[in-house]
Amino acid sequence: MKTACPACGAAFSLDTLLGNEGAREAVMAALAFPAPLGKLLVQYLGLFRPAQRQLSLDRVATLLNELLPMIEAARIERNGRTWSAPLDYWKLALEDMISKRDKLTLPLKSHGYLLEIIVGYGTKAEGKQEQQKEDHLAGRTPVGAVAPAVRTEPAKVPTKPRAEMPQEFKQIAANLKKGTKHAD
């Protein structure tokens, strides 16, 4: 039985798929990815296919095995820095790459552009966190929110002067101290 990948164009029989080491590695790597990325990864791999040839299963396995550790770790190393890369970033970045297919120079040679998109999401998130921190320190709040009270000196609670204790209560207290009972 012959099958062909709709994204990369690789044509093979199921016997070949099970017998080929590269194909086995590709299938094993694909099965390790989180389900929400499956279809997107197949489309993304199509961006690596040479114009007049099929993408080899060994190359598919290599590409998937390059991505898998980064996706599992939810972080990437880029330009000497570690960036957070949650699953949502990967999904958005893959969708972005696929939507820009016509503007890209194909076939892709590496994951560089995909990783730069993820770095962009990380940079944007860091900027947003920094802005929220600055807003909090400055006492600014989003529209409709209540700003926390900022005190520069301790609050002074007004106190009322105490009223004099009525004489009959003083007598009861004195009797209790002496251990005598009072008369009703």
- Tokens for 98? 């696929």
Q: What value does the mean pLDDT take over residues 31-60?
A: 88
Q: Flag the least confident range among 1-5, 58-62, 73-77, 100-104.
A: 1-5
User: Phi, psi (5° rounding) for residue 4?
Assistant: -135, 140
CB 155 within 8 Å of CB 149: no
The continuous run of DSSP H or E covering 78 comes out as strand 75-78
Query: What pLDDT is attached to residue 57?
Result: 83
Peptide bond into 107 cis (omega under 30): yes
Residue 24 has pLDDT above 90, yes or no: no
The continuous run of DSSP H or E covering 115 comes out as helix 112-138
Find all residues with CB under 8 Å of 113, minimum gap 6, and list them.
97, 104
- What 3-state DSSP class applies to 76? strand
Which is more confidently placed, 147 or 168?
A: 168
CB 22 within 8 Å of CB 58: yes
Residue 6 has pLDDT above 90, yes or no: no
- Tokens for 48? 């690596």
- Tokens for 133? 């921190």
Nearest CA among 107, 5, 134, 99 for reference residue 48: 107
110-157 confidence digits (pLDDT tens): 999 999 999 999 999 888 888 888 877 887 777 656 555 555 666 666
Query: What pLDDT is attached to residue 74?
Result: 95
Query: What pLDDT is attached to residue 65?
Result: 92
Angstrom distance (rounded) from CA 60 to CA 10: 10
